[in-house]
Amino acid sequence: MSQKKTALIVSAHAADFVWRCGGAIALHAELGYNVTVVCLSYGERGESAKLWKEGKTLDQVKAIRKAEAEAAAKALGVHDLVEFDLGDYPMDFTRDDRMKLVDVMRKVQPSFIMSHSKWDPYNSDHMQTTQVVLECRATAQAWGHNPGEKVLGAPQVYLFEPHQTEQMGWKPDVFLDITPVWDKKRAAMEAMNGQVHLWDFYTRVAQQRANHFKRNSGGMAGGRDCKYAEGFESIFPRTVDEL
């Protein structure tokens, strides 16, 4: 019997995994992957302005964002939602936090990992998250870390699209057709009531990336049709037998 395929998403805040790679999650879940999402915080301080304007307390905001994240994860078919609750704006990572993420990586043994762009001058939580992801990936590969455990292989790390790509140095080299699961992504987006203003924004992003998918799959010569897509930037070289 073949081993179950797995994937790991590391999301700084409660909604990041929905906007930026919800389609990838839903698509791979349908393909039979067990997709684990690590949600490092609920985005309670910096990404819940609507709730604060309504007069909610910190505990209320966290509870609402937690429920939203769990509903979105269910809509996308997430296998396991791991909630670290580290706080946000700013997000601080202790050594124990890093080792906890290493433990998740070794447990999941993902075929690929997804996280944020390397640079984000608007949101230091995002770029800190990806730096920690790369550190933890290296630690999870180290034979001297907790000898006897199964070490991590070499999963590709895909960086999902930031909010203002022109400012982030993010250069996509992969476009994924998410048309078959768009309804699931949209349902997950609509679970995030704390950020209603982003529902249509990320719908437009998916439509724009669909255009890029079509152009790069054949262009005017007859590219594959696509209505919604997501873009990603890969970190590591790929090993191939033919091009």
CATH number assigned to the domain comprising residue 61:
3.40.50.10320
75 within domain boundaries:
yes
Residue 126 structural domain: 6-234
* Per-residue model confidence as pLDDT tens digits over 187-217: 999 999 888 889 999 999 999 999 999 999 9
* Residue ranges in the chain whose pLDDT is less than 50: 1
242 within domain boundaries:
no
pLDDT for 193: 87
Give the separation between CA 71 and CA 53, rounded to whole angstroms.
23
137 within domain boundaries:
yes
Q: Which is nearest to 177 in space by CA: 42, 24, 46?
A: 24
Token code pair at residue 176:
């994924």
Cα dihedral 86, 90, 95, 96, rounded to 10, equals -10
pLDDT for 2: 54
Give the separation between CA 164 and CA 114, rounded to whole angstroms.
18
100 within domain boundaries:
yes
Total count of domains within the chain: 1
pLDDT for 1: 42
186 within domain boundaries:
yes
243 within domain boundaries:
no
49 within domain boundaries:
yes
36 within domain boundaries:
yes
pLDDT for 70: 97
Q: Quick check: 106 and 140 in contact, CB under 8 A?
A: yes
* Per-residue model confidence as pLDDT tens digits over 65-87: 999 999 999 999 999 999 999 99
